[in-house]
Amino acid sequence: MPSVIVLDKLAQEGLDMLEAAPGITYEVITGLKGEELREALNRFDGAICRSGVKITPESLEGNRQLKAVVRAGVGTDNIDKAAATRAGIVVMNTPAGNTLSTAEHTVALMLALSRNVAPAYQSLIEGRWDRGKFMGTQVAGKTLGVIGLGRIGLAVAERAQGLEMNILGYDPFMTEERAQSLGIELVKTVDEILPRIDYLTVHTPLTEETRNLVDMEQLEIIKPGARLINCARGGIYNEAALAAGLESGKLAGVALDVYPEEPCTENPLFGMPGVVCTPHLGASTEEAQTSVATEAVELLTAFLTTGAIRHA
């Protein structure tokens, strides 16, 4: 009988599906690392995780039992895929379930930056009625640069168009025709986008190509007063460059949901004027969590019972 380990907190709907899956047994064991994780992974046929657990080469060492890991979410960067492949373990993800929630969070942060929502509330609860201090900026008529026009990037672009923003997009995989049909002006390089945007958002994985995509050099050419948002992966913007840009006044604002190391409770950007940060909440909605959990269970149970592989 195939057995499944759930390594991170999973929406109840997913657990209910596991409970009801004929011929599957499962256990939820969260917070595992080191030897405990290695030993646990060696006792199950399949695993479901979110981003909390880190599946490293060490955690798969000597594994003879595990056949598949499904990430309930998009990014599989917490799973060492090369080590999994060497051990014959299939890695799958659920790329669609988070799309709308992450796009909405991006828009929420963009608007929060524009209207000083976080510092205005902070000042109010500290007993001040500072109406004059929090002059904002309208997003209508402004230009949003979207780097990465996949599911989430496009959902952000569509929502921003609803706010009457102009969209400049960069994505080497997007054709000119498709961009045009979506009302997006496609540019050929990141450098081309930077001098022209009022807001910038990134929706790419973190890779060697995207790490430090906005660094000190890019700061030189970015439009003065730009506001930058990152709900994708920490490290795409160089945080030291962001801090320098805010200090010099070149950047008007920075909103981050993601960090190079997570959990992240200390960061030089936290508390800087013009910064609003959240603790990786992009996918934290009931809808997204239900969707990624149920899709992850579907993928894993299908694989364990029929060998079918999707989103590998």
State in angstroms the smallest separation of the CB of 283 from ligand MLT. 4
Q: Which two tokens stand for residue 66?
A: 């595990």
* Distance from C-alpha of 95 to C-alpha of 68, rounded to nearest angstrom: 17
Give me the residues that bind ligand MLT (CB under 6 A), please.
50-51, 73-75, 98, 282-283
Q: Which residues of 274-304 are buried (b: 16+ CB within 10 A; e: fewer)?
A: bbbbbebebbebeebbbbbbbbbbbbbbbbb
Q: In what side-by-side order are the strands of the sheet with 143-147?
A: 185-186, 166-170, 143-147, 199-202, 226-230, 251-256, 275-277
State in angstroms the smallest separation of the CB of 51 from ligand MLT. 4
State in angstroms the smallest separation of the CB of 210 from ligand MLT. 14
Given 227, 233, 239, 295, which residue is catalytic? 233
Identify whether 233 is a catalytic site residue. Answer: yes
Comparing CB distances to ligand MLT, the nearer of 76 and 166 is 76
Comparing CB distances to ligand MLT, the nearer of 127 and 263 is 263
Residue nearest to ligand MLT (CB): 73
Comparing CB distances to ligand MLT, the nearer of 98 and 204 is 98
* Distance from C-alpha of 192 to C-alpha of 30, rounded to nearest angstrom: 45
CA angle 99, 102, 103 (to 5 degrees): 80
Given 262, 287, 298, 311, which residue is catalytic? 262
Identify whether 280 is a catalytic site residue. Answer: yes
State in angstroms the smallest separation of the CB of 106 from ligand MLT. 12
Strands (E), the chain: 3-6, 25-28, 46-49, 68-71, 90-93, 143-147, 166-170, 185-186, 199-202, 226-230, 251-256, 275-277
Identify whether 311 is a catalytic site residue. Answer: no
State in angstroms the smallest separation of the CB of 73 from ligand MLT. 3
* Distance from C-alpha of 285 to C-alpha of 266, rounded to nearest angstrom: 24
116: left (phi over 0), alpha (psi -120 to 50) or beta: left
Comparing CB distances to ligand MLT, the nearer of 156 and 222 is 156
Comparing CB distances to ligand MLT, the nearer of 49 and 276 is 49
Just list the catalytic residues. 233, 262, 280
